[in-house]
Structure 1
Amino acid sequence: MSALDLEAPGRVSRLRDIARRVAAEPSSWGVTPRFDAAARWYARLFAAADHEAWLLTWLPGQGTDLHDHGGSAGTFVVVSGALTEETVHAGTDGAVLRSTPYTAGDARPFGSQHVHRIVNTSAEPAISLHVYGPALTQMTRYRLADGALRVLEIDRAGVAW
Structure 2
Amino acid sequence: MDVTTLIDAVARIKSQADELTQQQIVDSLSRTLAEFTTSAENQVFAEAYSPSGNYTRLLLNDPQEPYQIVLVFWGPGRGSPIHDHDDTIGAVSALTGTAKEIKYIVTRCAGEQVKLTQGDEFTIAPGRVTPILPEDDKQLHLMVNEETRWAATVHVYLTAIHRYRQYEPAPDGLFRTAEISLWFDECGVGRRMPASTRS
Distance 1:9 1:97 in 2: 23
Matched, 1:23 2:37: yes
Match in the other structure for 2:58: 43
Distance 2:90 2:81 in 1: 17
Matched, 1:127 2:141: no
Give the superposition deviation at 1:97.
Answer: 2.6
8 Å CA contact 1:34–1:57 kept in 2: the answer is no
Q: 1:40 to 1:139 in 2, by over 3 A?
A: same
Higher strand proportion (structure 1 or 2): 1
TM-score (norm 1): 0.74
SS in 1 for 2:176: strand
8 Å CA contact 1:33–1:56 kept in 2: the answer is no
Give the superposition deviation at 1:35.
Answer: 2.8
Instruction: Give 5+ residue unaligned stretches, structure 1.
Output: 1-6
Q: 1:51 to 1:96 in 2, by over 3 A?
A: same
Matched, 1:96 2:111: no
Structure number with greater Rg is 2
Greater alpha carbon shift after TM alignment, 139-148 vs 109-118? 139-148
Q: Which amino acid aligns with 2:33?
A: A
Deviations 1:8-65 (A, max 9, x none): 35122222233224334555xx9863333x3311210014855321111111111111
Match in the other structure for 2:96: 80
Match in the other structure for 2:83: 67
Distance 1:139 1:58 in 2: 20
Match in the other structure for 1:117: 142
TM-score (norm 2): 0.62
Match in the other structure for 1:14: 28
Q: CA RMSD in A?
A: 3.0
Higher helix proportion (structure 1 or 2): 2
Greater alpha carbon shift after TM alignment, 47-56 vs 79-88? 47-56
Distance 1:22 1:136 in 2: 22
Give the superposition deviation at 1:121.
Answer: 1.1
Q: 1:49 to 1:118 in 2, by over 3 A?
A: same
For residue 150 of structure 1, the aligned residue among 171, 176, 197 is 176
8 Å CA contact 2:90–2:131 kept in 1: the answer is yes
SS in 2 for 1:151: strand
Greater alpha carbon shift after TM alignment, 47-56 vs 78-87? 47-56
For residue 33 of structure 1, the aligned residue among 30, 40, 49 is 49
Distance 1:74 1:9 in 2: 11
Give the superposition deviation at 1:147.
Answer: 5.1
Distance 1:50 1:15 in 2: 15
Give the superposition deviation at 1:129.
Answer: 0.9
